[in-house]
Structure formats: structure tokens, C-alpha cells
Amino acid sequence: MKTPRFFLGVILLFWGWQVGLLWLGLGLAVVLESARWAKTRFELQASDFNKFVDISTVLLAFTILAALTTDAKKANLILLRWLPLIFFPIIGVQEFSAKGRMDVKSFFFATRKKTEMRFYETKEIDVSYIYAFVCLMSSAYANAKGSFYYFCVVLFFVWGLWQFRSRRGPLAAWITCILIVALTGYHGQNLARQAGRTLSRWIMSHYAYTMDPFKTYTALGEIGDLKFSDRIVLRASFEDYAPGKTYLLHSATYNRFASSNWFAKYGFERVEGKKDGGFWQVNPPRENPLKMTQYFRLQKGRAVLSLPPGVIDISEMKAGDCEKNAVQVVRIEDGPSLIKAVVSYTGASTYDALPGTDDYSVPVKEKPVFEAAAKNLGLEDKSEEEILKTVHGFFLTQFAYSLELKGKGKAGTPLENFLFHTKAGHCEFFATATVLLLRQAGIPARYATGFIAHEYSRLEGGLIVRLRDAHAWAKVFVNGQWRNFDTTPPSFLNIDEEQIPTSFLEDLFSFFGFKLSRLRHETGAKLVETYGLWLMLPLGLMLLLRLRRSGQIKRIKDRDRPGRKKKGRARATGFYRIEEILSEKGGPRRPHETYASWLKRISRQWDNPALMEQLFQALDQHNQWRFGRPEQREDLKRKLEENLMALSEKLLARP
């Protein structure tokens, strides 16, 4: 099952051209195709094939590691690009071996060691077609838009399959078949791609964590348990941090509530900033701002920032674009995968837009519930401050925090159920109920989401914010100022921690990943590449040791480079020197021959019994030195050396 002439060469050229390694492709192609003209073939054992497969394995491992350290996101692409080079040792050894085929056993460590392999089970395959396929696959790295690549692939398939076409039917039938397959393939892959895209979008919409500043889906009225992961989404360090202090980081604010979900209708405007300096003036400057630094990752190239109240400006943020809306939601687009932002903020006074009619409205559906609740609390004839105090006390004393979703229950709406029956829920319930209750009492309020930063990591020396720290709270407008108003019982942090387990190992990995990305972004990629090379060192050492232990490296020395070893030994004793001399005189020893049988064999041609007897005597001494009891070795060595010096001179003198 040899490939047609020039097939592999042309495919390699195609690969080189597509992925931009034309010269490399040309070189590999020349090497492979030269196997057809070269007469030299190597007689290789199974173990030799194993070695070449090992080389490919090592190359593969190195490439994976190198790809992961240089650009983890594109690791698979980098790997794809270099596949033909990685597997070149395998195809190369096959093409230049006398057998011309590879034993399947070589590819698996498990089968290499299997002792009871029956001889008819040895399955030898020609890897050239497989290699050709790998090359074509790798050419896809170029990701050429349009159908040129597909057309080329079809052509290569036709070329490769030409010699296997059925000679029974007419040629036209074969061509038709190929055409049908090619067309089905083309449309099939289009369909598959669309299906994949739809599926991934569907999955992402369920699982991905992205924040939409225009609407947020709450879990109000659902059944089950809220499940958040303990993934770290943000790392923050505050100037004024003191142990035990918590911070609300605001991401988005919403003001319209309808059928259990919150919406916002504020348009975005661009924030002025110096792109290259990474400085963004979000609001007019003020004196004595507080400062905090945070690190986070972009999701699909964009992010809504989680910020402390009253942001003035953001510096050192390498984003492509930055926008904000009237309720101080800041979002950015484009940038490195890890973003650093140094935020200066007031901490108290905010820049949120003044209340509008939306901030007073309670949905018709919920109206009766909140009217009743407000009446119960007697909010109607209280001052603003009193109302806030009452509401805060109401939720704090009468309600419990729970991650359990109890559904709607028997009551009309989930909120009614929460307020009058279960009296337990998660932050979304507390925030929504607070907002609507305050609005009912005539205080403008909005629904804010974001994170609560409370967990100090000793490992990282800063606050870490996990996905499970996502939080929702109310914003109220009192005394001409918007301020945060969180009514969720403070015990919720403990409950979250108990119910959503954290894994130390995961945190550790996350930490190292973070450090690595930080290093890359702050110092440039080159440093990381060198670090990557250092990382490779232990792996290489390990592989080397493994090969050495299994004796594969040693065997190369023994079999293929006997000269060097003998020389090394010749200095140690003398009989190896004799062997060298005699070999040069035309009687090399075969590896399996003992000295005795070798001498017997070559002595037939020589007619010098006296010399032979001397040689055999020396051999006896040599054997005793070599295989005898170790105690006597030193003594013997000296004697042997003396004997052999004379003998080797005598041998050298002979023609």
C-alpha cells in the first residue's frame, strides 16, 4: 500500500505553503521522496522502530508544553501546525527501513512489553497514508476561508485513492462516487459547523458567566439549589483594607422589574481615555480619591467591570474601548486576556443618574403584596431614615438566608411567597424585595448586582472574589445621593462558604495561572518563553532517564557504536586491544560470538598454532579477570597487561 510517486512530497509542500513553512516543507519533501531513489535501506529491529516512535512522542510532548507556555489559548492550533514535523521521524524511519512498514506494536507501550504476543498477531502497517492525512489536517491550520482548502483536500484524496479504484466498474461511476462524497462532505461540514455553533451558543447561554447591563435573569421562583462555582473571577487589593472589611463591587444597575427579571434601558457613551497609557477618565476628577487595584479576565473579549462606588478614573487598563452608562456601569472591549485596572474612587458619593419615574414604580402584579407589606411595617408616615431603618431591621430579624430555591409555593408570586411564607431566600430575593418595598414607601431605589469582596487569601496576599461571591443589593436615593443598601443577612457569607466547597488545589492552579499571565502581560512574552524552556528541562530529564532505564539508549551505544566502547575498554585491560588489532587484520568478531568461538573461527585461516596457544592462554586470563571472583581482579589485571603488551606487539608485526 505504497503511496503514489510524489504524493507525500506534494502534500508536504502543500502543508508548508499553507502554514507558512514552505522551506521546511520542501526539505521534508525532498528527504521523503529521496527514499524512492536512494538504494540504501536500513535493517532495523523492532526496538529501533520503537526508538523513533519515542522520538516523535518526545517531540509531541515538547510541542504541547511549548505551545501551552507560549500561548495557552492557541495551543491546539500551534500543535496542529507542527504535526507533520512531529511525526516525521516515524514516516522517515519507515521509508528508509528495509521492511518499509511499521509494526503496530511499536506505537503502544503496553503492546511492546507484551510477552505472549503470537507471531501471527504482528500487524504491520504502512503509515504513509496516515501521515499524508495528518499533513492535510495540519494544513487546515492556515484556516483559509473559502473552499480552496476543501478543493485541494478532495484532489489529494482522488490522487491517493486512484490506485485503489475498482477496475470492474466504469471509470465514470468511480468519478461520480467521488463527486457525491465530496459534495456531501462539503455540505455536511457546513451543517455540522452550524449545528456546533448553535449548540455551543445554547450551552454558553446556560453556563457562561457574562453580565448583561441591560437585563439580568434572577432565580426568583425557581426550584432547586443555587449552584455557583468557587472559580476565582477577580483579584483585588484595596488601599484601605483592614482584616474583616468587606467591599461591594458594583457591576450593573437595573431599574425595571418584570416577571421576576430586572431590566435597564440606559444607553452607553464612550469614556475618554488614552489608549496607550491605559488611562480612562470615567468621571470628573476629585480630591483625595481612594485607590484599589484589580485583576480579572475578559470573557470573549469583553467585560463589565466590577467597581467600588463613585469611580473617578481607571488607569493602567489596557483595553481597546471603554464605555459607561448613566448608572455607572462600565464595560470594556478588546484587550489582553488578563486585565489590570487601578481604580480611584470616592467610596461614598456616586455619580448615578438622578431618579426617574421608573425608580418609583412597583409592577402591577406585585403591587398588592408590597402594599400589604408596607402597611404591616407602617412605612407610610415615617421619615426616609426611619423607613430605611425599619426595612433593614425587618429583613435582618425576620428573614433567613438560604440557597434553596423553593419555587412559587402556593402564593401568587415568588416575592409574596418570600415575604409572607418561606421568609428565606438568597440575595436576589432580599434585594428585589427591598427595592420594591422602598419604592412602595416612596423612596427611589434600584437593583444592583456585582460581587462582594470579603475573602482574604494568604496565598495571594490580597482579596479574591469567587463566582459564588456574586451578590445583589439595593441602591437607594436618600438625601440627594444614591447609596448602597444591602439587606441580606450578613451570615450569608458563611452559608455560602459552607455550601459551596472550595478546593485548595484549584485555587493554587488558578493562582499560578494568574501569576503566569501577569508575568506575560507585564514583562512581555519572551520571558515566559524562557521560563517555559526551563519547565521543559525536568520533563526532558525524566524522559531521558526512562529511556535509559529501559535500556534503549544503552543499546544504541552497544550495537551501533562498538568502536568507541572498545577503545574505552582497551585502556582498561588488554584483550580488547587484541580484538581491535585482529578485527583490523580482517576477522571482526560478531556481537554474539564469545572470544573463544571467535578465535577458533579465525584461527582456521591462520597457520600459527603457537601464537594461537598464546592467545588462548591470554584469553583464559582475561576471562578470569572479567568473569572470575572480584577479589582477585586487581592482581590479575597487572599480570594480564604484561602478557598482552608483548602479544599485541607480536600481532601488530604480523601482516
Partner 1 sequence: MEKTDLLFAHELFMRLSANIETVIKGQKENIRYILAGFAGGGHILLEDNPGTGKTTLAKALAKSMDARFKRIQFTPDLLPSDILGVSIFDPAKKEFKLHKGPVFTHILLADEINRASPRTQSALLEAMAEGQVSIDGNLLNLEDLFFVIATQNPIESRGTYPLPEAQMDRFAMQLELGYVTRETEALILSEQSLAHPIHSVLPCVSLEEGLKLRRLVGEVFVSKELKEYIVALVTATREKPGVLLGASPRASIALMKTAQALALFDKTDFVGPDHIQEIAVRVMAHRLILDPRLKFSGVSARTLVEEILTSIPVPV
Footprint of partner 1 on this chain (CB under 8 A)?
A: 115-120, 122, 558-559, 579, 589-597, 623-624, 626-629
Min dist. Cβ of residue 55 to partner 1 (A): 23
Min dist. Cβ of residue 115 to partner 1 (A): 5
Question: How many Å apart are CA 100 and CA 147, to the nearest integer?
Answer: 35
Identity of the residue, 23 or 120, whose beta carbon is nearer to partner 1 in the bound complex: 120
Q: Are 495 and 460 in contact (CB under 8 A)?
A: no
Tell me the CB-side half-sphere exposure of residue 493, using CA atoms within 13 A.
14
Identity of the residue, 614 or 624, whose beta carbon is nearer to partner 1 in the bound complex: 624
Work out whether strand 232-238 and strand 462-466 pair parallel, antiparallel, or are unpaired.
Answer: antiparallel
- Residue 295 phi, psi (nearest 5): -125, 135
Output the CA–CA distances (angstroms, integers) from residue 561 to 512, 550, 593, in the order listed. Answer: 45, 19, 17
Amino acid letter, 310: G
Chain mean position to CA 453: 28
Task: Determine the angle formed by the axes of helices 88-96 and 22-37, rounding to 10 degrees.
Answer: 20
Min dist. Cβ of residue 632 to partner 1 (A): 10
Min dist. Cβ of residue 116 to partner 1 (A): 7
Q: Which helix (H) or strand (E) holds 598?
A: helix 595-603
Min dist. Cβ of residue 117 to partner 1 (A): 7
Min dist. Cβ of residue 119 to partner 1 (A): 3
Identity of the residue, 484 or 624, whose beta carbon is nearer to partner 1 in the bound complex: 624
Identity of the residue, 558 or 649, whose beta carbon is nearer to partner 1 in the bound complex: 558
β-sheet bridge partners, residue 223: 406
Min dist. Cβ of residue 594 to partner 1 (A): 4
Min dist. Cβ of residue 79 to partner 1 (A): 35
Identity of the residue, 138 or 573, whose beta carbon is nearer to partner 1 in the bound complex: 573
Closest CA to 234 of 462, 478, 495: 462
Min dist. Cβ of residue 45 to partner 1 (A): 9
* Cell (9 digits) for 60: 509531541
CA torsion sign for 159, 160, 163, 166 is negative
User: Strand 321-325's sheet: what is its strand order?
Assistant: 268-270, 321-325, 330-333, 302-304
Identity of the residue, 313 or 579, whose beta carbon is nearer to partner 1 in the bound complex: 579
β-sheet bridge partners, residue 452: 248
Question: How many Å apart are CA 257 and CA 216, to the nearest integer?
Answer: 10
Identity of the residue, 389 or 559, whose beta carbon is nearer to partner 1 in the bound complex: 559
Identity of the residue, 166 or 597, whose beta carbon is nearer to partner 1 in the bound complex: 597
Closest CA to 469 of 430, 505, 506, 426: 426
3-state class of 475 per DSSP? strand
3-state class of 300 per DSSP? coil
Tell me the CB-side half-sphere exposure of residue 654, using CA atoms within 13 A.
15
Identity of the residue, 123 or 270, whose beta carbon is nearer to partner 1 in the bound complex: 123
Residue length of the chain: 655
Closest CA to 594 of 606, 613, 579: 579
Min dist. Cβ of residue 601 to partner 1 (A): 13
Identity of the residue, 107 or 159, whose beta carbon is nearer to partner 1 in the bound complex: 107
Min dist. Cβ of residue 620 to partner 1 (A): 8
| DSSP summary character for residue 74 | G
Identity of the residue, 121 or 522, whose beta carbon is nearer to partner 1 in the bound complex: 121
Q: Is 12 exposed, middle or buried (0-12, 13-18, 19+ CB in 10 A)?
A: buried
Identity of the residue, 332 or 644, whose beta carbon is nearer to partner 1 in the bound complex: 644
Identity of the residue, 101 or 483, whose beta carbon is nearer to partner 1 in the bound complex: 101
Min dist. Cβ of residue 623 to partner 1 (A): 5
Min dist. Cβ of residue 653 to partner 1 (A): 24
- Residue 212 phi, psi (nearest 5): -110, 120
Report the 3 state secondary structure along 333-355: ECCCCEEEEEEEECCCCCCCCCC
Question: How many Å apart are CA 605 and CA 159, to the nearest integer?
Answer: 58
